[in-house]
Amino acid sequence: MARPPRAVFVTLLTAGVLAGLVGSAQAVPSSSQKAAGTTDAPAVLEPAEPAGVAPTAAGVQKALAAALSHPSLGKHFGVYVYDASRGKPVFSTGTAKPFIPASTMKLLTTVSALETLGPEHRFATKVVRSGNSIVLVGGGDPLLVTKRPTDPLDFPTRASLQDLAIGTAKALRGAGVASVTLGYDATLFTGPAANPKWEPNYLTEGIAARTSALWVNEGRLSPGMAKRADSPALAATTAFAAQLRALGIKATVGTALKAPAGVEAIAQVDSPTLGDIVEYVNLHSDNDGAEVLLRHVGLATKNGGSYTGGVAGLRSTLTELGLDVSKARFEDGSGLSRTNQVPLDVLAGAVRVATAEDKPQLRHLLTGLPVAGFNGSLARRFVGPASAAGTGMVRAKTGTLTNVHSLAGYARTKSGTLLVFAVATDSSPAPLALEARAALDRATAALAACGC
């Protein structure tokens, strides 16, 4: 699917930030776009080569000093800056102890999902049949919805129960079946559906769902509403049965079960690619999507589809990517748990490894980060004159909990250097939350503005 116009605009605006990550950028049309006798178009976007003096620790420290001196950051704050253009750390302060990452934790989850599964991977939701019994089988699609989206700007295009019901009804009618018992299989994921490290109100207030391999609308009882189903799999199956009935198939909802092995699917819908899902999760800071991806990391690393399996898979994958997680504590995939503890060099490391020339499979981590002042969780940030230099030039994942504020991402400096950063506080006084976020905005904007 083509990106919606607003996404294209943002992509063009920030092309200078991304240019040069993996060499020259050329406008080369596909074979279907080339006319006979024509040649490839010349390069239209030259790589941004580092120019002038390389950033120094003293230069970066000076650029950040004013923003990091703000009292809203509390007693435990820090920053880590890495020169991705030259492959070396530049500056860090306050990094002796790890931080509560909040939603910057999603960077670690999504980069691990990309590494273990690949950006083209899709998650299938299917229906299998045995006689007059059918089973709705969840494949862990985090973005499955009840009805086919109609908004052309909705990105990515999601799989729907509506399309699955149409395919199922067609197959059943072709087999002469008009009445079925509908079971459901959500056994791909195991263990507790709710993370015991979360605050109790997260589930009751709809901040997070009970993680399931089979759900629609991320477990919501109604699309766009906060309240979640006690059993997301049963709620999805009930909605699917109603759609089958509307198509002339009498469907009676049965029980949860394990689908028979070796039975061929009669209908199937596939999720967007994992690359697109990762972009969505990071752009919108989607807690539920991140938790589903954590389970998939556990499965892909053969640790199982539970929280504990996902965390084990996360740790091993990050280690294989070259990140030192010996001082890190992981409790979930979304960052909702306040017991997560992550060093800033590990948070920045998730972005750093995605810039590596030999890791193109991780590139969606970079292209999906919110753009300062334009979209996602940064749409209403970088609004003051002190942070204006970062507008459109900083791309970062946000993290916010009570007393916790963080940003991790990258910026291109005036001299052409690509700086990867992580900056955080987990001791900000609650009444000063807006001031703390503004201080982090000013700090990262200073990186984009400096020659350092």
Burial of 386 (C-beta count, 10 Å sphere; 0-12/13-18/19+):
middle
User: What single-letter amino acid sits at 63?
Assistant: A
What is the reported pLDDT for 391? Answer: 95
**Residue 49 pLDDT level (bands cut at 50, 70, 90):** low
| All domains in the chain, ordered by first residue | 57-118+277-449 (3.40.710.10), 124-272 (3.50.80.20)
**Residue 18 pLDDT level (bands cut at 50, 70, 90):** low
Start-to-end CA distance of the chain, whole Å, equals 41
Tokens of 209: 């769902």
pLDDT digits (tens, 9 = 90+) for 105-147: 999 999 999 999 999 999 999 999 999 999 999 999 999 999 9
pLDDT exceeds cutoff 60 at 36: no
Measured over all CA atoms, what is the biggest interatomic distance in the chain, rounded to whole angstroms? Answer: 77
Q: What mean pLDDT do residues 381-385 have? A: 92
For residue 156, say if its preceding peptide bond is cis, omega within 30 degrees of 0: yes
SS3 79: strand
What is the DSSP code string of 147-163?
S----TT-SSPPPBHHH
C-alpha distance from residue 190 to each of 204, 304, 450 (Å): 22, 8, 49
pLDDT exceeds cutoff 90 at 151: no
The radius of gyration computed from the CA coordinates of the chain, to the nearest angstrom, equals: 23
**Residue 284 pLDDT level (bands cut at 50, 70, 90):** very high
What is the reported pLDDT for 51? Answer: 55
SS3 262: coil
What is the percentage of the chain residues whose pLDDT exceeds 70? 88
Tokens of 21: 């990550």
pLDDT exceeds cutoff 70 at 418: yes
What is the reported pLDDT for 452? Answer: 79
**Residue 21 pLDDT level (bands cut at 50, 70, 90):** low
pLDDT exceeds cutoff 90 at 429: yes
pLDDT exceeds cutoff 60 at 2: no
Partners of 310 in the beta sheet? none
What is the DSSP code string of 16-54?
HHHTTSSS-B-----TTTPPTT--PPPPSB------SSP
Partners of 421 in the beta sheet? 81, 409
What is the reported pLDDT for 223? Answer: 87
pLDDT exceeds cutoff 70 at 13: no
Q: What mean pLDDT do residues 340-350 have? A: 98
Mean pLDDT of the chain: 90
Q: What is this structure's pTM?
A: 0.90
Greater confidence (421 vs 6) lies with: 421
